Amino acid sequence: MAYIVLPSLLWLLVLFLSVTVAKSVFNYVKKSWRKKKILLTLALYLPIHLFVYSLSLEKLLSIIYGLDEIFPYTQFLVTYTPFPLNPIGLAFTLLFDPSLDLFISPIYYLSLTPFSIITAIIISIIVSANVGKIIELFKNHIKVVRQIALVQQLWDFNVT
């Protein structure tokens, strides 16, 4: 039970602290939730981040440890690994337990942990806020350029 509840609670606490510390970013995303740019960025970035992170991590670990498994059929599991009771084992428990594992036949394996999900949510919100702000700045820049061009045209018209 401790392998499932404690790591999950820790990462929920990390999410809460992130929201508290970076309140302006989260408030911007919450305020702009219905805008297409924020919703589209979140909807695209979050699943891609989770998929690529999970797939690449599992492939990397498979290469490092020389495991080349072939899965006969697709399956979905909720698992945990009882790491030893030492500082390194505790760190691994907090990072890798519990995990939602998806075996996709024949050779793909995705593993989502509270660590990967919470960090993906935090990164997705930060990316969405940055995309939204960049688009706003670009639109404001275009408005300023148009106003300058209009003033220049009026100036040229009055001078001639």
pLDDT at 25 over 80: yes
Domain assignment of residue 127, given as a range = 2-17+32-159
pLDDT tens digit sequence for 119-159: 888 888 888 888 888 888 888 888 878 788 877 777 777 76
State how many domains the chain has.
1
Long-range CB pairs of 111-119, under 8 A, 24+ apart, other chains included:
111/54, 111/57, 111/58, 112/50, 112/54, 113/7, 114/7, 114/8, 114/10, 114/11, 114/12, 115/7, 115/11, 116/50, 116/53, 116/54, 116/57, 117/11, 117/50, 118/11, 118/12, 118/14, 118/15
User: What is the arithmetic mean of pLDDT over 90-99?
Assistant: 80
Determine if the pTM surpasses 0.95. Answer: no
- Is 26 inside any structural domain? no
Which helix (DSSP H) or strand (DSSP E) does residue 39 occupy?
A: helix 36-65
- Give the per-residue pLDDT at 160: 61
- Is 25 inside any structural domain? no
- Is 24 inside any structural domain? no
- Give the per-residue pLDDT at 92: 80
- Is 129 inside any structural domain? yes
What proportion of the chain, given as a percentage, has pLDDT over 70? Answer: 92
- Is 153 inside any structural domain? yes
- Is 91 inside any structural domain? yes
Cβ–Cβ < 8 Å for 3, 80: yes
Q: Which of 48, 69, 55 is nearest to 123 (CA)?
A: 48
pLDDT confidence of 1, banded at 50, 70, 90? low
- Is 70 inside any structural domain? yes
- Is 136 inside any structural domain? yes
Q: What is the mean pLDDT of the chain?
A: 81
